[in-house]
């Protein structure tokens, strides 16, 4: 049970992105706010890592720090290795070359993230032209091809329309087309389906999967929707109060969660396939802690059903390695009662 | 569609699958772009249409004075007995015996050029200052806005008079000096808008796409401000024309032999109350018409560019 700082110990060297002990602190008038507090993970070529957590758990700050888009007052430490290069020590100019070209981002609200006064086609072209000198006619052809690829119907007409003429799902598709325009090595999707209804969600996630099959890019999927993660991710990282509390592949994390918080999240999901007592949704008691006043010891203990006095409220749990690609930040990760998957 | 439809039942409304094919074939209701909506609202705005008409006519007459004016510039009519307006000289003659209509048209060239020059220059400078201040914030914002305040509080006429005395009063210097006093309004407007726009997600998206600061300012933010900037630009053209005539009236502006509506007014002020009071009226009416027309145009632009405005 050695504490580990990285998810695996370099057994695989095809990591597109490797984040090590990332800490992001925002100074405020009431004191420093540790938005991200020692998070480590890796994303591999052709694979998707889902980052799951409730609002304020540090998901978005993590993704913003990868792109170097956090406000200047943020104090960042740790390592963000993109293909071996530490992004945290890169200059703004170097980052600008990477952004949009090697690492691209899909935003949550496509209507807000698209420029209202620019044609959709022009915005996608802009993405290409920012990074590559390509003849205009070629770019247009490429844009139409991209729109077609993400499933925008009638792309040669749609290319000249404005964002407000697109429907919600189509706008998200256009955002994806923009993100993949330069065939990035890493795609960061920050709650890409939250603003969409369930049918469109499924279609959009489908597009992501198709793109990934084609380009073999790595993907970081940030969401609070466990269903989406179960559907498309290969591995999962669960975040709570700025910490990575559990890592695992989708299969072992969903069937055998080794952290009480993950268990709480899973049992709060509606299960239409279950009859009887489990029909009532379980909730995690209490509220997420204020980042300004984190409880001593494990930040989750005040809400934890397995917490033990004198242990959990004293010791800050390290990340415990439980096996290949599997770790948990719970002192009792190995002795937790067996998880009754209510589905069986 | 090969399926036969029962007569009288419009199925098309329920048939979504064909929507985009229809769009390609041009049979679907045409989606209106921002630009089309703008044109529609603008061309139905009566004030704007009046303004545009007056501007085009006056602009054509003044700049085309070589063809339009009935008499060449400065030609004396030594045969006329009566200087009053007549069919031959519709604006009458000036005290030297020149055709006043032709003089007014030629003078209009100077007045309009100064107005347009100041409008263009102050808009460009003001937009730049405002965009840089608003986008970068911190010390650049503080410095630029204090300079803007400084320019706003100086007594304008006094500064103009002194500056023109020092630098001479050619049309070029008048444009430059007036620009120096006109760029602040637009700078403040643009700064305010940029402050709110730069927090928008699409600006962050542009940054995440690797766009540089200048690319974000020029390609992402400023196109969103076409409305307020162009409205303000038209208004500053009108204001510049009026200010130029004020200056010329006070004797600091355009000097003889060059003419502008301002110094024509100035020269004619002695004739108020005499039988030749028309010498004051005609350049005055021209000034009034042109400023009114430009202001109407600006109003129309503002209404047409307002996305919440009535959709005509």
pLDDT tens for residues B175-216? 888 898 889 999 999 999 999 998 888 998 998 988 888 989
- Tell me which residue in A98, A112, A115 faces B220 most closely, judged by beta carbons: A115
Q: Do B204 and A127 touch (CB under 8 A)?
A: no
Residues from chain A that touch B210, judged by Cβ atoms under 8 A, are 96-101, 130-131
Residues from chain B that touch A169, judged by Cβ atoms under 8 A, are none
For residue A62, the model assigns a pLDDT of 92
How does residue B33 score in pLDDT terms, banded at 50, 70 and 90?
A: low
Q: Which residues of A touch B (CB under 8 A)?
A: 67, 69, 96-101, 104-105, 107, 109, 112-118, 126-127, 130-131, 153-154, 157, 161-162, 165, 178
With an 8 Å Cβ cutoff, is B218 touching chain A? no
Residues from chain A that touch B23, judged by Cβ atoms under 8 A, are 154, 157
- Tell me which residue in B201, B215, B223 faces A107 most closely, judged by beta carbons: B201
In tens, the pLDDT along A100-153 reads: 899 999 988 888 899 888 889 999 999 999 898 889 889 999 999 999 988 888
A228: nearest Cα among A252, A254, A246: A254
Size of interface A-B (CB pairs under 8 A): 75
Average pLDDT on B69-77 reads 77
- Tell me which residue in B20, B201, B212 faces A113 most closely, judged by beta carbons: B201
Tell whether the model's pLDDT for residue B25 goes beyond 70. Answer: no
With CA atoms as reference, the chain A residue closest to B226 would be: A117
Residues from chain A that touch B211, judged by Cβ atoms under 8 A, are 96, 100, 126, 130
Q: Do A112 and B31 touch (CB under 8 A)?
A: no
Residues from chain B that touch A161, judged by Cβ atoms under 8 A, are 31, 33
Question: Mind giving me the DSSP string for B90-151?
Answer: TT-B-TTSBBHHHHHHHHHHHHHHHHHHHHHHHHHHHHHHHHHHHHH-HHHHHHHHHHHHHH
- How far apart (Å, rounded) are the C-alpha atoms in residues A156 and A165? 14
Supply the pTM of this predicted model. 0.76
Pairing assessment for the beta strands A186-190 and A218-223 based on DSSP bridges: parallel
With an 8 Å Cβ cutoff, is B31 touching chain A? yes
- Tell me which residue in A69, A126, A154 faces B204 most closely, judged by beta carbons: A69
With an 8 Å Cβ cutoff, is B56 touching chain A? no
With CA atoms as reference, the chain B residue closest to A130 would be: B211
Domain residue spans of chain B: 36-305
Q: Do A115 and B33 touch (CB under 8 A)?
A: no
- How far apart (Å, rounded) are the C-alpha atoms in residues A230 and A240? 19
Residues from chain B that touch A67, judged by Cβ atoms under 8 A, are 208
Q: Do B207 and A165 touch (CB under 8 A)?
A: no
Residues from chain B that touch A101, judged by Cβ atoms under 8 A, are 210
Residues from chain A that touch B223, judged by Cβ atoms under 8 A, are 115, 117-118
In tens, the pLDDT along A56-102 reads: 888 889 999 999 888 888 999 999 999 888 999 888 889 999 998 99
Q: Do A69 and B208 touch (CB under 8 A)?
A: yes
**Gap from A317 CA to chain B (nearest CA, Å):** 35
- How far apart (Å, rounded) are the C-alpha atoms in residues B201 and B209? 12
Give CATH superfamily name and number for B36-305. Answer: MetI-like (1.10.3720.10)
Query: CA quadruple A63, A65, A66, A69: dihedral positive or negative?
Result: positive
Backbone dihedral angles phi then psi of residue A86, each to the nearest 5 degrees: -80, 115
Q: Do A178 and B209 touch (CB under 8 A)?
A: yes
ipTM score of complex: 0.79
Phi-psi region of A31 (alpha: psi -120 to 50; beta: other; left: phi over 0): left
In tens, the pLDDT along A227-283 reads: 888 888 999 999 999 899 999 999 888 888 889 998 888 888 776 666 655 566 778
- Tell me which fold the domain A15-113+184-328 belongs to: Rossmann fold (3.40.50)
Identify whether the C-beta of residue A99 lies closer than 8 Å to the C-beta of residue A188.
no
Domain residue spans of chain A: 15-113+184-328
SS3 A256: coil
Residues from chain A that touch B200, judged by Cβ atoms under 8 A, are 112
**Gap from A172 CA to chain B (nearest CA, Å):** 13
- How far apart (Å, rounded) are the C-alpha atoms in residues B305 and B45? 12
Identify whether the C-beta of residue B296 lies closer than 8 Å to the C-beta of residue B234.
no
Residues 173 through 212 of chain B touching chain A, CB cutoff 8 Å? 200-202, 204-212
Q: At what angle do helices B100-136 and B171-197 cross, to 10 degrees?
A: 40
For residue A276, the model assigns a pLDDT of 59
- How far apart (Å, rounded) are the C-alpha atoms in residues B136 and B194? 10
**Gap from A293 CA to chain B (nearest CA, Å):** 29
Q: Do B33 and A161 touch (CB under 8 A)?
A: yes
Tell whether the model's pLDDT for residue B268 goes beyond 70. Answer: yes
SS3 A27: strand
Mutation to test the A interface, candidates B205, B229, B305, most A Cβ within 10 Å: B205
Q: Do A117 and B208 touch (CB under 8 A)?
A: no
In tens, the pLDDT along B254-263 reads: 777 888 888 8
For residue B230, the model assigns a pLDDT of 87
- How far apart (Å, rounded) are the C-alpha atoms in residues A214 and A217? 8
For residue A2, the model assigns a pLDDT of 45
**Gap from B120 CA to chain A (nearest CA, Å):** 23
Beta-bridge mates of residue A243: A240
For residue B30, the model assigns a pLDDT of 54
For residue B21, the model assigns a pLDDT of 45
Mutation to test the A interface, candidates B202, B204, B307, most A Cβ within 10 Å: B202
CA geometry: angle B38, B44, B49, nearest 5 deg: 100
Mutation to test the B interface, candidates A130, A164, A172, A180, most B Cβ within 10 Å: A130
For residue B11, the model assigns a pLDDT of 40
Identify whether the C-beta of residue B289 lies closer than 8 Å to the C-beta of residue B58.
yes
How does residue B37 score in pLDDT terms, banded at 50, 70 and 90?
A: confident
């Amino acid at each position: 049970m050695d504490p580990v700082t990285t998810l695996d110990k370099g057994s695989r060297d095809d990591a597109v992105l490797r984040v090590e002990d990332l800490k992001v602190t925002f100074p405020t008038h009431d004191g420093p706010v540790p938005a991200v507090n020692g998070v480590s993970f890796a994303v591999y070529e052709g694979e998707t890592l889902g980052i799951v957590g409730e609002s304020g758990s540090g998901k978005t700050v993590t993704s913003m720090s990868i792109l170097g888009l956090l406000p200047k007052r943020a104090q960042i430490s740790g390592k963000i290795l993109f293909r071996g290069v530490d992004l945290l020590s890169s200059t703004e100019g170097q980052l600008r070359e990477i952004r949009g070209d090697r690492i691209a981002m899909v935003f949550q609200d496509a209507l807000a993230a698209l420029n209202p006064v620019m044609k959709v086609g022009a915005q996608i072209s802009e993405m290409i032209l920012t990074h590559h000198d390509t003849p205009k006619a070629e770019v247009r052809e490429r844009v139409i091809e991209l729109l077609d690829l993400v499933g925008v119907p009638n792309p040669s007409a749609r290319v000249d329309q404005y964002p407000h003429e697109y429907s919600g799902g189509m706008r998200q598709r256009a955002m994806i087309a923009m993100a993949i325009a330069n065939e990035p090595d890493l795609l960061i999707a920050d709650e890409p389906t939250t603003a969409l209804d369930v049918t469109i969600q499924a279609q959009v996630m489908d597009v992501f999967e198709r793109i990934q099959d084609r380009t073999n890019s790595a993907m970081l999927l940030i969401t609070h929707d466990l269903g989406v993660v179960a559907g498309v991710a290969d591995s999962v990282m669960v975040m709570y109060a700025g910490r990575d509390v559990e890592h695992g592949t989708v299969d072992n994390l969903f069937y055998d969660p080794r952290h009480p918080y993950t268990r709480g999240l899973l049992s709060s999901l509606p299960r239409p396939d279950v009859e009887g007592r489990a029909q009532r949704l379980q909730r995690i008691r209490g509220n997420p802690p204020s980042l300004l006043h984190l409880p001593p010891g494990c930040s989750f203990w005040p809400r934890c059903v397995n917490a033990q006095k004198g242990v959990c409220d004293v010791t800050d749990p390290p990340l415990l390695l439980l096996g290949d690609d599997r770790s948990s930040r719970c002192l009792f990760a190995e002795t937790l009662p067996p998880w009754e998957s209510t589905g069986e | 569609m090969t399926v036969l439809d029962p007569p009288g039942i419009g199925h098309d409304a329920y048939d979504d699958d064909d929507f985009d094919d229809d769009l390609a074939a041009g049979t679907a209701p045409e989606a209106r772009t921002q630009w089309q909506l703008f044109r529609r609202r603008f061309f139905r705005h009566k004030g704007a249409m009046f303004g545009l008409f007056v501007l085009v006519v006056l602009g054509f007459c003044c700049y085309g004075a070589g063809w339009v004016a009935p008499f060449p510039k400065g030609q004396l009519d030594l045969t006329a007995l009566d200087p009053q307006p007549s069919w031959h000289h519709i604006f009458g003659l000036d005290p030297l015996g020149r055709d006043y209509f032709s003089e007014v048209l030629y003078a209009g060239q100077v007045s309009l050029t100064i107005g347009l020059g100041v409008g263009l220059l102050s808009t460009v400078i003001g937009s730049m200052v405002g965009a840089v201040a608003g986008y970068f914030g911190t010390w650049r914002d503080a410095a630029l806005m204090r300079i803007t305040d400084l320019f706003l509080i100086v007594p304008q006429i006094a500064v103009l008079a002194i500056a023109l005395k020092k630098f001479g009063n050619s049309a070029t210097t008048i444009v430059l000096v007036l620009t120096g006093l006109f760029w602040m309004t637009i700078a403040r407007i643009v700064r305010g808008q940029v402050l709110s726009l730069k927090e928008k997600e699409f600006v962050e998206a542009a940054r995440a796409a690797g766009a540089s600061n200048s690319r974000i300012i020029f390609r992402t933010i400023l196109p969103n401000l076409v409305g307020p900037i162009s409205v303000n630009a038209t208004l500053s053209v009108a204001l510049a024309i009026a200010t130029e005539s004020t200056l010329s009236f006070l004797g600091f502006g355009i000097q003889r032999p060059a003419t502008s509506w301002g110094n024509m007014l100035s020269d004619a002020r002695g004739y108020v109350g005499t039988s030749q009071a028309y010498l004051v009226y005609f350049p005055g009416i021209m000034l009034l018409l042109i400023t009114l027309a430009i202001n109407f145009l600006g109003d129309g632009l503002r209404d047409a560019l307002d996305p919440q405005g009535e959709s005509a």
